[in-house]
Structure 1
């Protein structure tokens, strides 16, 4: 017997990242990135809203399903309408590993990257064409 996939709409999407210093990560995403806290899971995790339907979960690695790791093969990307304004703002915040602005014509973006306090890479990008 085949069971069909539930057809009700998804309610929330959360990508979880693991931190040694949860308070420092929360302060960065709240104060620098401007992401509001929408769910506080009792100090074990902080769910921050990126935009409608997209969230990042900051997890205390001592209590999560995974632990903190030196290698970070994850990038959190946020598409914005004015990448130049974001670049100027992030540059003024003194974040670590801020790249130069770059253009990728193949995928149709202008973007830059930088690291959060524990080394996760963030990319801020703007589409350069309608189909990107």
Structure 2
């Protein structure tokens, strides 16, 4: 018999300038800070089930290409892709391209970067089958 399922998830991102990232995630994206451990700030991204931690990096990041080995893309799911695009553009966040539909994956999305250079994606599932929040 397998152990019980996981109840929560945290993704940790390492930043050379964690203060800029704390500001970005807390003020620009409006995520709620749920725990400040000094060396790490943990923000809620999905109610009480999904979290993002910002931690002081021990050195410079080696890769700026997240789709290569060792990379990461943080995807935030919302039905309001256009509203988030407008909000981030108004806040001066560099956006890689305007929202676009991808017929192959059945999503609408766009990409941007945080102050540490991590690639983030805002997306909406346009096809059935993705679990509703709650």
TM-score (norm 2): 0.83
| Structure 1 unpaired stretches of 5+ | none
Q: What residue in structure 2 maps to residue 6 of structure 1?
A: 3
The root-mean-square deviation of aligned C-alpha atoms, in Å, is 1.6
Equivalent residues in 2 for 1:70-109 (5 A)? 70-72=62-64, 73-109=71-107
Q: What secondary structure, in the 3-state scheme, does the structure 1 residue paired with 2:27 have?
A: helix
State whether residues 43 and 51 of structure 2, in contact with CA within 8 Å, keep that contact through their aligned partners in structure 1: yes
Distance verdict in 2 for CA 1:129–1:11, change over 3 Å: closer
Whose Rg is larger? 1
State whether residues 96 and 117 of structure 1, in contact with CA within 8 Å, keep that contact through their aligned partners in structure 2: no
| Structure 2 unpaired stretches of 5+ | 65-70
- Equivalent residue in structure 2 for 1:69, among 61, 76, 82: 61
TM-score (norm 1): 0.85
